[in-house]
């Protein structure tokens, strides 16, 4: 099951939190949490967090959140 989970993560999203921002940034943490929510099947929770990031962030973080949100639709 662990192998399937790892494969699922790569297929659905190319999210790499280290490539976006410092993990101490609260918005970057929300982006990480959104990806974790998506992985466990909580798509609505992921959408809510991603929308918060989009509303508050700019630059690469906002672009990544927008791409992740689009991939959930």
For 21-52, the pLDDT digits (tens) are: 566 899 999 999 999 999 999 999 999 999 99
Average pLDDT, the chain: 81
Could you tell me if 57 and 34 are in contact, meaning their C-beta atoms sit under 8 angstroms apart?
no
Has residue 15 got a pLDDT over 90?
no
Token pair recorded at residue 65: 């959140």
Q: Per-residue b/e over 40-73, b at no fewer than 16 CB within 10 Å?
A: eeeeeebbebbebbbeebeeebbebbeebbeeee
**Which of 71, 39, 35 shows the shortest CA–CA distance to 53?**
35
pTM given for the model: 0.70
Average pLDDT, integer, range 54-67: 96
Sign of CA dihedral 52, 65, 27, 49: positive
pLDDT of residue 37: 98
């Amino acid at each position: 099951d662990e192998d399937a989970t790892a494969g699922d993560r790569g297929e659905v999203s190319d999210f790499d939190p280290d490539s976006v921002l410092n993990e101490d940034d609260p918005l970057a943490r929300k982006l990480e949490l959104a990806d974790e929510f998506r992985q466990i099947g909580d798509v609505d929770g992921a959408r809510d967090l991603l929308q918060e990031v989009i509303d508050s962030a700019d630059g690469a973080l906002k672009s990544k959140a927008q791409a992740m949100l689009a991939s959930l639709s």
